[in-house]
Amino acid sequence: MTNTWVCLDCGGRQDAAGACRACNADEVLDARKEDVRGLMADVDLRLGDRREARIRWTAVVIAIAIIVVAWMVPGYWSLRGVIYPGLPFLVDQWAFMAILGLGILKLGERVFGHQKRFPYLNEQQQIVEP
């Protein structure tokens, strides 16, 4: 296996120990060791979780903002009883926010989904050559 030394900062691979050639990080790690591959998988998992949380919070804020702006549209509240029956305690508005937020979340995950830092690491934590 060539390029067995991996940089955790950028995901770059190289064939010798030392400073990373891609990002000039201090040290690269030997990907032949099982604990290093576990660390690489953990880094990918944490980055994915962080991105997912950002997308989720953004979807919630956008969904709430859209419904609140809709409340300001003239005639919105009068259509509430005509087109569909309004539910008590604005449950229908909360349902619209939830459905809209879920749709924005799925769209955000599709467009801005997690891109792995170590795409050459498979599920069994083995290095796969391209």
Residue 66 lies in a domain: yes
Higher pLDDT, 33 or 83: 33
Do 52 and 103 share a structural domain?
yes
Residue 60 lies in a domain: yes
Residue 18 lies in a domain: yes
Total of domains in the chain: 2
What is the span of the domain harbouring residue 51? 46-111
Do 11 and 59 share a structural domain?
no
Do 80 and 55 share a structural domain?
yes
| pLDDT at position 102 | 97
Residue 126 lies in a domain: no
29-30/5-6 β-pairing: antiparallel
Average pLDDT over residues 122-130: 69
Short-list 121, 114, 7, CA closest to 54: 114
Residue 77 lies in a domain: yes
Do 52 and 27 share a structural domain?
no
Summarize pLDDT for 53-75 with one digit per residue, the tens: 999 999 999 999 999 999 999 98
pLDDT band at residue 85 under the 50/70/90 scheme = confident
Q: Which amino acid is at 1?
A: M
Find residue 5's DSSP bridge partners. 14, 30
Mean of all residue pLDDT scores within the chain: 88
Do 89 and 64 share a structural domain?
yes
Residue 37 lies in a domain: no
Out of 24-33, 84-93, 104-113, the most confident range is 104-113
Do 101 and 75 share a structural domain?
yes
What span, in angstroms and rounded, lies between the C-alpha atoms of 111 and 25? 30
Find residue 121's DSSP bridge partners. 127
Do 59 and 106 share a structural domain?
yes
Q: Which amino acid is at 81?
A: G
